[in-house]
Structure formats: structure tokens, C-alpha cells
């Protein structure tokens, strides 16, 4: 019996290696899919795969309808603008679709489900991100924009200031484009990048294995496309690292043993999840005693009536068993891509940075 570093997200017993690199739980009898070294460790893996596949197909057919509408535009220059904008979105979606297709994940779900009319319900926003929404994050991270470098420095500074903290295991939760996970992996023995957006995680894996990716971005945005730009990812050379694992999991049900991580990192996620309490308890469970959680993001928790709830942070954290070590509220650019196009409008937002200890 070959046990792994992961635990079952249902019963929390250690998982075993099944066939290929798939894992299984001997006690629940659940098998977890894997593809090209990406483990999919969620309770309802089939639904999650289908959700993303259907979303991509749905979006592609919506764009097809938009193409037909655009062709009826009588002004040639407007027609061109519309069609170019749609083409860029389609190109990126096809990249994501092909990634899903090429993975083992899609083998059982080649045909989109006909039954579900509305694919992405509004109440699922936050919990399930469309992969195409994350593409600007890939550009920001893998091109190491000024914004990226600045926030990386804050995380590195916070980690280095923990003089007594071992640097064995770190998990980056809701890691998105995951460059932060890649850079932090240089400081730890093992790093885990965790996200539940399956196509985005597959894209991260491609980048980490040295594949060149090309995106076609609309500026200033998809819904107001004035200009397109080809952006190659990664811009620099990505050295392969064996100590970083990218996994698909729900951050509320992590596949890690209790008291097993030295550091947990979250960035731009606390403001989007429906209920912070569950997540706080889960982060507390997986951290070792004395381990630290470092967060940067938009202040405020979605499920609390008081918008200024971050001002009560030390109490909120202590209810989940944490001690607030450091807190800083500042103004930072968010998803600033104007290094690629002057058409991109910069959004400066109130940003909360904190370090909490278990
Ligand atoms: C605003 S993006 C931030 C991405 C990254 N942390 C960053 O700062 O660039 C939010 C991310 O949270 C992920 N996410 C949201 N809910 C999640 C959940 N329940 N489990 C895992 N990932 C989740 C999304 O897929 C997306 O990648
Ligand atoms: Zn189990």
C-alpha cells in the first residue's frame, strides 16, 4: 500500500496511489482523477469537470451568435472592431477547450450536457471562476508586472521576518495563475498551488512544464474591445521545479493533513468567497501550531453586513484561533496591465495585508 502526502477530502484519511497517478481513498472507495501530474481532489470531480467544460462550450456558442450579429453591422470599421474583439476571445477559449480535451479529465464528458440551461448560476460566482476571467491574472503574474513584483516583495518580507518558522511546506490557496506559488516554492521544501478552476490549473501546469502559451488580449477589456495584443507567456524562462504541486481542490476542504503546513498564503480571495468562517477554520486546521497565514486582498468579508468588518479583524481571527501579528491597510493597483496597453485603465483599490499566527 502506497500512501501519499494528501488526505481524502471526504473522510480525511491518507490517500493511496491507484493506477497511473490517480489517487483513491480505501475507506470511502472514492477515486480522484489526475491528468499530467495535476491531481483533482474534490468531492464531486465529475460535476466540476462538466461545469467547466459546459461553460467553455456555452461561451463559444454565445460568441458565435455575436459573430453573426456583428456581420450585420453596416459600418465597415465598426464591424471590424466587433469581429476582432470576438475573435480574440474565441482564440483564448479554444486554447482552454483544447487543454481540457487533451487532459484525461474530459474523457467521460466529451459531449456537453443538454439538460442544464443556465450553466453558471449567479450564486456560484466567487466559488467557481470562469477560466477566461483569469487570463489577465496570467499576464500580470507571468510577465511579472510592477504590481506583481510589489506584492511578491510583501509576501517575501513577511516570510523572512518569521525567524523561527520552519520552511517545510507552504500552500497558496486560490492560486489563480500561480506565479506567486512558483516564486515562493524557492523558499520552501514543498509548495502547493490550490485552485478549483480546472482549465486554469491545467494552464498553470503547461507553463510550469516549460510550454509557451500565447494569449490574444482585448484592450481595455473584452466588453469594450478597441485593440488586441498578442501576449506570450511566459515572458522569461521558467526553470522547472520539482517541489511545486498544482492541485485542483476546494479551499474550504483541503486535501492536507491537520497541523501539517508551515505557511498558508491567500491573495484576492477573502472578498469573493460566500462565507469566510469555513475557510478560516480550514486554514487553522491545516496549519501547524505557530504556523502563519499571510493574506493580501480587498478588505471586507462578503457574508457580514458591516462593510467595515475588516476593522474588527483581530477579533474575527481570534474566533477562528488565530493571533493577528501584523495588519496594514493601503492603496494598491489591482490587475494593472497598462504596461501592455495604454488603453488599460488602472484600478487602485484599498488593500488589506495581514499576517496571522496559529
Ligand atoms: C480574484 S482570483 C485571485 C487569484 C490569485 N490569488 C491572485 O491573486 O492572482 C480568485 C481565485 O480564487 C479561485 N477560487 C474561488 N473560490 C475557490 C474555492 N472555493 N476553491 C478554490 N479556488 C477558488 C478562483 O478560481 C480564482 O483563481
Ligand atoms: Zn475517504
> Chain-wide mean pLDDT for the chain?
92
**What's the pLDDT at 126?**
65
Q: Is 87 strand, coil or helix?
A: helix
Q: Which atom of ligand 1 is nearest to the CA of 172?
A: 6
Q: Are residues 244 and 350 in the same domain?
A: yes
- pTM for the structure as a whole: 0.95
Determine phi and psi for 28, rounding to 5 degrees. Answer: -85, -15
* DSSP 8-state code for residue 236: S
Q: Are residues 242 and 351 in the same domain?
A: yes
CATH, residue 192:
3.40.50.150
The residue among 72, 92, 123 that closes a domain is 123
Going from the Cα of 52 to the center of ligand 1, the distance in angstroms, rounded, reads 15
Measuring CA to CA, which residue among 69, 68, 145, 171 is closest to residue 341? 145
Q: Which atom of ligand 1 is nearest to the CA of 250?
A: 20
**What's the pLDDT at 108?**
57
**What's the pLDDT at 120?**
61
**What's the pLDDT at 344?**
78
Residue with the nearest Cα to atom 12 of ligand 1?
A: 174
Quote the CA–CA distance of 114 and 98 in Å, as a whole number. 21
Q: Are residues 344 and 212 in the same domain?
A: yes
Quote the CA–CA distance of 139 and 314 in Å, as a whole number. 34
Q: Are residues 145 and 214 in the same domain?
A: yes
Ranges in the chain, pLDDT < 50: none
Q: Are residues 197 and 259 in the same domain?
A: yes
Taking only the tens place, the pLDDT of each residue in 146-171 is 999 999 999 999 999 999 999 999 99
Q: Are residues 150 and 242 in the same domain?
A: yes
Q: Are residues 136 and 229 in the same domain?
A: yes
Q: Are residues 53 and 75 in the same domain?
A: yes
Q: Are residues 176 and 274 in the same domain?
A: yes
DSSP-derived pairing of the beta strands 224-233 and 213-221: antiparallel
Q: Are residues 149 and 37 in the same domain?
A: no
Taking only the tens place, the pLDDT of each residue in 339-349 is 999 887 778 99
Q: Which atom of ligand 1 is nearest to the CA of 141?
A: 9
Using the structure block, give the residue that is written with the C-alpha cell 498564503: 265
Q: Are residues 90 and 103 in the same domain?
A: yes
> Could you give the number of structural domains in the chain?
2
**What's the pLDDT at 116?**
55
Q: In which domain, by residue range, is 268 found? A: 125-357
Taking only the tens place, the pLDDT of each residue in 76-103 is 999 999 999 999 999 999 999 999 999 9
The residue among 92, 123, 154 that closes a domain is 123
Q: Are residues 142 and 287 in the same domain?
A: yes
The residue among 123, 141, 164 that closes a domain is 123
Going from the Cα of 105 to the center of ligand 2, the distance in angstroms, rounded, reads 20
Amino acid at each position: 500500500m502506497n500512501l501519499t502526502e494528501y488526505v481524502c477530502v471526504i473522510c480525511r484519511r491518507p490517500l493511496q496511489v491507484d493506477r497511473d497517478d490517480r489517487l483513491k481513498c480505501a475507506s470511502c472507495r472514492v477515486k480522484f482523477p489526475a491528468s499530467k501530474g495535476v491531481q483533482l481532489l474534490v468531492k464531486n470531480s465529475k460535476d466540476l469537470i462538466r461545469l467547466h467544460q459546459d461553460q467553455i462550450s456555452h461561451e463559444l456558442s454565445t460568441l458565435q451568435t455575436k459573430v453573426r450579429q456583428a456581420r450585420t453591422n453596416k459600418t465597415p470599421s465598426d464591424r471590424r472592431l466587433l469581429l476582432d474583439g470576438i475573435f480574440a476571445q474565441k482564440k483564448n477559449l479554444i486554447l482552454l477547450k483544447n487543454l481540457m480535451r487533451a487532459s484525461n479529465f474530459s474523457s467521460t464528458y466529451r459531449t456537453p450536457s443538454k439538460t442544464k440551461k443556465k450553466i453558471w448560476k449567479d450564486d456560484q460566482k466567487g466559488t467557481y471562476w470562469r477560466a477566461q476571467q483569469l487570463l489577465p491574472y496570467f499576464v500580470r503574474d507571468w510577465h511579472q508586472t510592477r504590481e506583481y513584483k510589489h506584492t511578491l516583495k510583501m509576501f517575501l518580507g513577511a516570510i523572512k521576518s518569521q525567524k523561527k518558522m520552519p520552511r517545510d511546506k507552504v500552500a497558496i490557496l486560490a492560486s489563480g495563475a500561480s506565479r506567486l506559488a512558483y516564486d515562493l516554492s524557492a523558499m520552501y521544501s514543498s509548495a502547493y498551488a490550490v485552485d478549483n478552476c480546472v482549465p486554469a490549473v491545467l494552464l498553470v501546469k503547461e507553463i510550469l512544464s516549460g510550454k509557451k502559451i500565447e494569449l490574444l488580449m482585448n484592450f481595455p477589456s473584452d466588453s469594450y474591445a478597441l485593440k488586441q495584443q498578442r501576449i506570450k507567456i511566459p515572458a522569461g524562462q521558467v526553470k522547472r521545479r520539482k517541489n511545486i504541486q498544482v492541485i485542483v481542490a476546494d479551499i474550504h476542504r483541503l486535501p492536507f493533513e491537520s497541523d501539517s503546513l508551515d505557511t498558508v498564503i491567500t491573495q484576492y480571495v477573502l472578498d469573493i468567497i460566500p462565507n469566510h468562517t469555513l475557510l478560516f477554520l480550514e486554514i487553522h486546521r491545516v496549519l501547524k501550531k505557530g504556523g502563519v497565514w499571510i493574506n493580501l486582498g480587498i478588505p471586507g468579508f462578503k457574508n457580514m453586513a458591516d462593510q467595515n468588518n475588516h476593522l474588527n479583524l483581530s477579533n474575527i481571527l481570534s474566533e477562528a484561533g488565530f493571533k493577528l501579528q501584523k495588519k496594514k491597510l493601503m492603496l494598491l493597483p489591482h490587475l494593472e496591465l497598462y504596461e501592455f496597453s495604454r488603453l488599460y485603465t488602472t484600478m487602485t483599490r484599498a488593500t488589506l495585508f495581514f499576517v496571522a499566527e496559529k
